Amino acid sequence: MTNVAGIERTEYAARTAKALSEAQRRGCDALLVLGRGGGSFERHGDVQYLTGHYPLFPAIPDQPGHWRLRGHAAAVVTADRTTLVTDDEIDETAAVADAVRATPDVLRGIADADLGTGRVALVGGELLGPGATGALTDLLGATLTPVPDLLTPQRLIKSPAEQALLRAASAVGAAAIGAALDAARDGASEQDAAAEALRTAARAGASVANVFTGLYGPDRPPRRRHFPSYADDAAPAPGDVFAIDMSGALDGYLFDFARTVVVGEDRHGAAALIAQAREIVETTVATLRPGATAATAAQAGAEAMAAHGHVLEESEFPGLGHGLGLGFEDPWLTLDNDTPLQAGMCIAVERMLFDGPLAATFEHNVIVTDSAPEVLTAAAPASR
């Protein structure tokens, strides 16, 4: 296989070489990158970024003598080789490494990968916990130096191959959310609308990270369940507002966007709130160009909010969005983030608004280019 998960092997090799060079610049001799997956999209990204491997099995508590770090994986990078350590039984052609160690004892597998006895840059060390950290240190005989941000700058800019994967993921997300909106307009409950989104994503080979839904209106009955967020079988009343914020991944790369619709006639004036949410997002998107910063983009969104009587700093999420790639990433669009925007960044721009019993949400996924922003979700159904 010349590529893994849509990325050429040569690109993975360049990533690993750059990461090791940064570790060496920080005074380390080798690099150890930890990750876990198990269906989530919060801690797998660094390992997949370097090796193309997503650890499939859920992380479970250690049982010494049976397994250690079950559900985790590690990229072990030294000057002469990269070793992938995982407890998944995988086809070695589906990962990019000089060696693959499949073992139920990931800690022992890391130790056997021969990191040496010098200083080892550790990314993802917070996944270990104190017991496993001590055990790994004893096994290695090396000095572990936490550098949690080592890969952050490197992952900010998406390569052309990554951008293509993000476009493909957004197309799947658009179809999934479109299916949910169609169901909601026809009077489906939250869980039935979510089922259409989940079914559409699964048929496209995507995995789903989250589906947050809500029905809003002055006469909504109490929810039967609060987890998952879509687990409510109460049908909407005419004029209720259906909102969905969905994230998932295709080949590891995420889509994450939101839409809102009124069910039937707009009896409560929700269309105006929906239009405000969309305007705020589109105003922010227009600022996403090289030369701007994350803070200036957030400021543009904050001013658009203020024009409609909403205060960003009082929001549950006092920002306008975040980076997107193999997870929810930097840069975060907050008022205090001076990170310069650069071509190749992918950013999810979002805003949810509330007005009494009503709510509206809107979100776009965007690639920053040398000219106008490329809106990946422009073809998604519009809120109305």
Task: Write the DSSP string, 79-127.
Answer: SS-EEEEESS---GGGS-SSEEEE-SBHHHHHHHT---SSEEEEESGGG
Same domain assignment for residues 164 and 106:
no
pLDDT, position 39: 80
| Residue 384 placed within a domain | no
Q: Do 107 and 246 reside in the same domain of the chain? A: no
**What is the mean pLDDT of the segment spanning 233-254?**
96
**Among candidate residues 154, 172, 205, the one where a domain is terminated:** 154
Q: Indicate whether 119 and 166 sit together in one domain.
A: no
> Does residue 365 form part of some domain?
yes
Confidence band, pLDDT 50/70/90 cuts, at residue 59: confident
- Domain edge (last residue) among 134, 154, 174: 154
Contacts of 150 (CB under 8 A, 6+ apart): 19, 22, 23, 26, 31, 121, 123
145, 171: one domain: no
Interval 110-127: pLDDT, tens: 999 989 889 999 999 988
Instruction: Name the more confident of 224 and 199.
Output: 199
169, 129: one domain: no
Asked whether residue 127 falls in the same domain as residue 231, the answer is no
What's residue 67's pLDDT? Answer: 66
The CATH number for 254's domain is 3.90.230.10
Assess contact for 69 and 107: CB atoms under 8 A.
yes
Residue 381 covered by a domain: no
Query: Which DSSP category does 312 fall into?
Result: G
**Domain co-membership, 140 together with 162:** no
AA identity, residue 314:
E
Whether residues 216 and 357 share a domain: the answer is yes
- Single residue among 154, 175, 197 that ends a domain in this structure: 154
The residue range of the domain holding 341 is: 157-375
Q: Is residue 275 part of a domain?
A: yes
330: helix, strand or coil: coil
- The residue among 165 and 136 whose pLDDT is bigger is 165
Mean pLDDT of 20-43: 93
Distance, in Å, from the CA atom of 75 to the CA atom of 115, rounded to the nearest integer, reads 11
pLDDT digit string, tens, across residues 147-178: 999 999 999 999 999 999 999 999 999 999 99
Whole-angstrom Cα distance, residue 352 to residue 196?
23
Query: Which residue from 330, 255, 247 is spatially nearest to 293, judged by alpha carbons?
Result: 330
Tell me if 320 is assigned to some domain: yes
How many domains does the chain contain in total? 2
CATH number of the domain that residue 48 is part of: 3.40.350.10
CA-based torsion, 375, 361, 246, 239: positive or negative: negative
Q: Kindly provide the residue ranges of all beta strands, DSSP E only, lying in the chain, ordered along the sequence.
A: 3-4, 7-8, 30-36, 72-77, 82-86, 99-102, 119-123, 143-146, 207-216, 241-250, 253-262, 321-324, 328-329, 346-355, 358-367, 374-375
Residues 358 and 286 in one domain: yes
Residues 224 and 193 in one domain: yes
